[in-house]
Amino acid sequence: MPKSVWWLAFSLALFITGNALVLSVAVIVGEQLAKDPIYSTVPLLSQYIGIISATIPMAYFMMKYSRKAGFIIGNLAGLVGALFGIAGIFYQNLILFSVGTLFTGVAIGTAQQYRFAAIEETPANMHAKAIGLVMSGGIIAAIIGPTLAVITRQFFADYPFIGPFLSLTVIYILAFILLWKIPLKKVVKSAATHKEKPRSYSQLYRQPLLFLVTIVSACGYGILVYMMAAIPLSMKQNGFEFATIAFVFQCHILGMFAPSFITGQLIHRFGVKKFFFSAIILLIIALVINLTGISFYHYFISFVLVGISWNLNLISSTHLLSNTYLPHERAKVQGTNDFLIFFFGAIGSITGGVAFYLIGWQNTNIISIVISVIILLIAIKLRKHLPVTTQ
C-alpha cells in the first residue's frame, strides 16, 4: 500500500475524531441553548449545511488545484468553527454555536474527499483496500472523540462543554501540521482530458448503477443521521446519564469505522454485491430492534448495527461510484454524490429530533423502516447492474 494512503488514514482519523467529539455533544448543547427543545438539533442541521456547502465546490477546487490545498482549507474552516463553538457556549447563544458547527461541517465535507484521494493514490485492483484503510482511521476517532467529550467537559464547571471545543482546536492544529507534510500525487491532466466533453447530469444519472448507488448511499446516510439525532434524545428522556449516552455513541462510531480494516479486503475477495445488500439489511434489523425495547442493550445493539451498516454502505458505494465516471468527470460525480449524501443527512438531522418530539420514539423508527424497505426493493429491482466481483 502506498505510504500516502497511510498518511491519509492518519489525517482522516484526526478529522473524524473532531467530528465524533462535536456529534457527541451537539444535540445536548443545542437542547441547553434552545428556548424550545424542538430546536435542539439545529446545530446538527447547521453542521450538515456546512458539509453540503463544501462538497461540490471543494471537489472542483481540488481538481483544479490539488487535494492537499483543499484539505488544508477545510482544516482551517474547522479551526474557525471550534472557536465559534466556544463563543456560542460561553455567551449561551444558539446562533453562534450553530455557526461554529457550520464551519466544522465545512471541514468534514472537505474530508469526505479523502476516500477519493485514496483511489487516486492506488491502482484499480487496490481501490477497495485503499478505501477501507483510509476509513479505518475512524477507529481512533471512535475511541478518542466521545472520551474527550466526557473528560474535558469537567474542565470548566460553569461552561461544561467549552472543554470539548478547546480540545477540538488542538485537533485541528495537529491536523494542519500533518496535512502540510502529507505526500500526495499531483494529478496531471492529459491532452485528451481537455478535449472530452463531460456528460450532462441527466446522461450520467441515466446510468442504472450511478442511480442505484446514489439512492442507497444518500438515503442510507439520511436514515443514519435521523437516528443519530433521535437516539441521544430518547436515551436522555429515559433517564440515561451523559456518560452512558456518550459510550453508546462511541460504540456507534466504532461500528462505523472498525470494520474498515476488513471490509475492503472482503469486498476484494468476495465481490461488492453481497456487502452492498448487507448494508441495507443490517440497517433494517437495527431499526426493528429499536421497536422491541428501550433498555441500554436495545440502544447499544441498534446503534452499533447502524454504524456497521454505514461502513458497508460507504465502502461498497464508493468503490462502485468509481465505475460510473471518466477521469474528466471526477469532480462532477464525486461532488454531486457527496452533496446528495449530506443533503439527505441534513434532512435527517432536523427531522430526527422533530419526529422524536412530535410523534414519539416508536413512530420515528417505523418511518425509518418503511424508507429502508423501499430502498431494499429498489436495490433488488436494479441488482443486475451490480458487478459480482470488484475486478
Q: In the prediction, which pLDDT does 190 show?
A: 45
Q: In the prediction, which pLDDT does 357 show?
A: 86
Q: In the prediction, which pLDDT does 389 show?
A: 54
Q: Which CATH class is domain 3-182+201-385?
A: mainly alpha
Q: In the prediction, which pLDDT does 285 show?
A: 94
pLDDT at 191 over 50: no
pLDDT at 214 over 50: yes
Q: In the prediction, which pLDDT does 281 show?
A: 93
Give pTM, 2 decimals. Answer: 0.75
Query: How far, CA to CA in Å, does 45 sit from each of 102, 104, 351?
Result: 8, 12, 9
Q: What percentage of the chain exceeds 90 in pLDDT?
A: 29
| Averaged pLDDT for residues 185-202 | 64
Q: Where are the alpha helices (DSSP H) in the chain?
A: 3-33, 42-64, 67-90, 94-111, 114-120, 127-135, 138-152, 162-181, 191-195, 201-205, 208-237, 242-257, 260-270, 272-291, 296-321, 330-381
pLDDT in tens, 144-188: 777 787 788 777 777 778 888 999 999 999 989 988 888 776 655
Confidence of residue 377 (pLDDT cuts 50, 70, 90): very high
User: Looking at residue 200, what DSSP letter applies?
Assistant: P
Spans of all domains in the chain: 3-182+201-385
Q: In the prediction, which pLDDT does 195 show?
A: 60
Q: In the prediction, which pLDDT does 121 show?
A: 84
Confidence of residue 292 (pLDDT cuts 50, 70, 90): very high
For the record, the C-alpha cell of 11 comes out as 489525517
Q: Which residues contact 281 (CB under 8 A, 6 or more apart)?
A: 376
Q: In the prediction, which pLDDT does 242 show?
A: 78
Q: In the prediction, which pLDDT does 296 show?
A: 92
pLDDT at 323 over 60: yes
pLDDT at 331 over 60: yes
| Averaged pLDDT for residues 179-199 | 66
Residue-wise DSSP of 146-193: HHHHHHHTTS-SSSTTHHHHHHHHHHHHHHHHHHHH---PPPPPPHHH
Task: With H, G, I as helix, E, B as strand and everything else as coil, classify residue 66.
Answer: coil
Q: What is the rounded distance in angstroms from the CA atom of residue 283 to the CA atom of residue 224?
A: 9
Distance of CA 318 to the CA centre of its chain: 13
pLDDT at 189 over 60: no
Mean pLDDT, all residues of the chain? 85
Q: What is the rounded distance in angstroms from the CA atom of residue 66 to the CA atom of residue 362?
A: 47
pLDDT at 102 over 90: yes
Q: In the prediction, which pLDDT does 192 show?
A: 46
pLDDT at 143 over 90: no
pLDDT in tens, 337-372: 888 988 898 888 778 888 888 898 999 999 999 999
Confidence of residue 391 (pLDDT cuts 50, 70, 90): very low
42-46, 83-87, 115-119, 265-269, range with the lowest pLDDT: 265-269
Q: What percentage of the chain exceeds 70 in pLDDT?
A: 96
Residue 113 has φ and ψ, to the nearest 5°, of -75, -10
Look at 137 and 343; give whichever has higher pLDDT: 343
| Averaged pLDDT for residues 109-128 | 83
Q: In the prediction, which pLDDT does 388 show?
A: 61
